[in-house]
Amino acid sequence: VISQKKMSSSKKMINVLMVSPTLQGHLNPTLNFAKRLASKGVHVTLAIPEETPHRFQNLNTQETNSHHHNNNPSKIQLEYFSDGLSIDHDRSKDPATFIASLETKGAENLSNLMTHLKKNDRSFSCLITSLFMPWSVDVAVSHGIPCAVLWPQASALFSIYYRYVCNANHFPNMENPNETLQLPSLPMLRVRELPSILLPSCPPYLKKLLMDFKPILDKVKWILGSSVYEFEEEILNSMASLRPILTIGPLVSPYLLGQKESEDSDDLTANLLRPEDSCLQWLNDKATSSVIYVAFGSLMEFSQKQMDNIATALKNTKKPFLWVITPQKGGAELPQGFLEEIKERGLVVTWCPQAKVLMHPAVACFVSHCGWNSTLEAVTAGIPIVALPNWLDQPTNAKLVEDVFKTGVRMRIGEEEDGVASAEEVERSITEVMEGPMAEEIKMRAVGLKEAARKAMVDGGSSDRNINRFVTEISGKFT
């Protein structure tokens, strides 16, 4: 591995192309990795479906400047390609049509964009893509450039999917939620703790993405994981001889890593809704480690019963809380009179600056769906998690939080409860993390992982070294 200095002094600019689907959970790590690469002198072109800036705040700047270590400006440039559907087409209503259109029209348009950029002197050393867009790997191959996958989830999840699609291990009957599975270096998992994409109830369009996984793995040179070696050491070691993962995370806001006083207003970020910054002032008036922060990411839809149970639990804890309720079409509503009843003790917003909230000294714990970004952000901020997972990778992440990271607890939901946590269980698990017999140990573990996350990302840390290695390899000097 060549040193940072040697790499920066290289005259030839390295160009990479990144693509990301229009999903909050993918855009955030993609943008954070783009900034990280730009800080190492790499020129990043980020190609996103053209509907993206219409669905996300902030992403309308054509380009942004990120600064190189020794102050050479190096750019992240945004480019758009059409997925073949009109801008106002509601993609969430019919994801199968949307994904099929991306695969055909999207692939063609991305390829045309690359041809156009090449004519304008922008040729790429590498395409960094998402397994949500498996077709993009073939586009890279047709343009003769190597491909990396940015894996925005836990390495444990990669390990499970890999072992499943490559038949590396025997998987139990997925019809029975109580069957168990023991994979190398992972805690024993019940079927209901596996990612929902493996279950019979998974919609066919998601199953297809999983099945596309295997053929494209052969065409991909690097798997770049938004995780930290020290968080998942055993899992990563167990994958080293099968399919190594280069951990380059946590790909979270630099603010969470203590690398910045605040987020710059011209920073390239994406937000599903405009964040309500006023919640930070509200937090300022609260005592240290007193507030329950409640948020379930960008996609979660609740039943009315679950919403009612969370509301009752928060009321009964008598503790201050900040609750993000993102409006969903036909979604559940707060019980009548709730806001009047809780008065100043609770604040409900539609979207918040989550990185800043988690770093606020008033926040004590995070009631979360355990999307991987939220999980990493909580861990990086040293905040204990109270997990209420729903689907996709969330149930497995919640298991990791409780049994591997040991930085939080999962809510227990009985077979007869239809996936809904009772008000008593929500309250019990919050209390357990905040003041139960394990509370202090959980907090200490959280603070320990926070330090490990920061160490991984500074010069010479495990993730920083992996990023340097990747940059060296795409520059072609050592391959």
Give the footprint of ligand UDP on this chain (CB under 6 A): 24-25, 28, 295, 297-299, 324, 351-352, 354, 371-374, 377
| Helix/strand/coil for 349 | strand
Cβ atoms of residues 147 and 137 within 8 Å: yes
Least distance (Å) from ligand UDP to the CB of residue 410? 16
CA angle, 222 then 226 then 231, to 5°: 110
Phi-psi region of 26 (alpha: psi -120 to 50; beta: other; left: phi over 0): alpha
Start-to-end Cα distance in the chain: 11
Nearer of residues 24 and 39 to ligand UDP, judged by Cβ: 24
DSSP string, 155-213: HHHHHHHHHHHTT-S----TT-TT-EE--TTS--EEGGGS-GGGSTTS-HHHHHHHHHH
Nearer of residues 124 and 231 to ligand UDP, judged by Cβ: 231
Nearer of residues 135 and 255 to ligand UDP, judged by Cβ: 255
Q: Is the peptide bond before 152 cis (omega within 30 degrees of 0)?
A: no
Least distance (Å) from ligand UDP to the CB of residue 288? 22
Only one residue has tokens 């497995």, namely 396
* 276 contact partners, CB below 8 Å, separation of at least 6: 349, 350, 351, 352
Radius of gyration of the chain (CA): 22
Nearer of residues 77 and 373 to ligand UDP, judged by Cβ: 373
Least distance (Å) from ligand UDP to the CB of residue 233? 22
Nearer of residues 354 and 407 to ligand UDP, judged by Cβ: 354
Least distance (Å) from ligand UDP to the CB of residue 331? 14
Torsions phi, psi of 196, nearest 5?
Answer: -65, -15
Least distance (Å) from ligand UDP to the CB of residue 474? 26
Q: Return the C-alpha torsion angle 356, 362, 364, 370, nearest 10.
A: -20
Only one residue has tokens 């045309």, namely 112
Least distance (Å) from ligand UDP to the CB of residue 298? 3
Tell which residue, 295, 394, 286, 268, has the closest CA to residue 352: 295
| Helix/strand/coil for 110 | helix
Least distance (Å) from ligand UDP to the CB of residue 369? 6
Nearer of residues 14 and 133 to ligand UDP, judged by Cβ: 133
Nearer of residues 28 and 109 to ligand UDP, judged by Cβ: 28
Nearer of residues 43 and 356 to ligand UDP, judged by Cβ: 356
User: What six digits make up the tokens of 320?
Assistant: 């201050």
- Alpha-carbon distance of 246 to 244, in angstroms, equals 7
Least distance (Å) from ligand UDP to the CB of residue 279? 9
Least distance (Å) from ligand UDP to the CB of residue 401? 12
Nearer of residues 25 and 461 to ligand UDP, judged by Cβ: 25
The CA distances from residue 41 to 13, 129, 215, 472, in Å, are 7, 20, 33, 12
Nearer of residues 35 and 43 to ligand UDP, judged by Cβ: 35
Phi-psi region of 157 (alpha: psi -120 to 50; beta: other; left: phi over 0): alpha
Least distance (Å) from ligand UDP to the CB of residue 378? 9
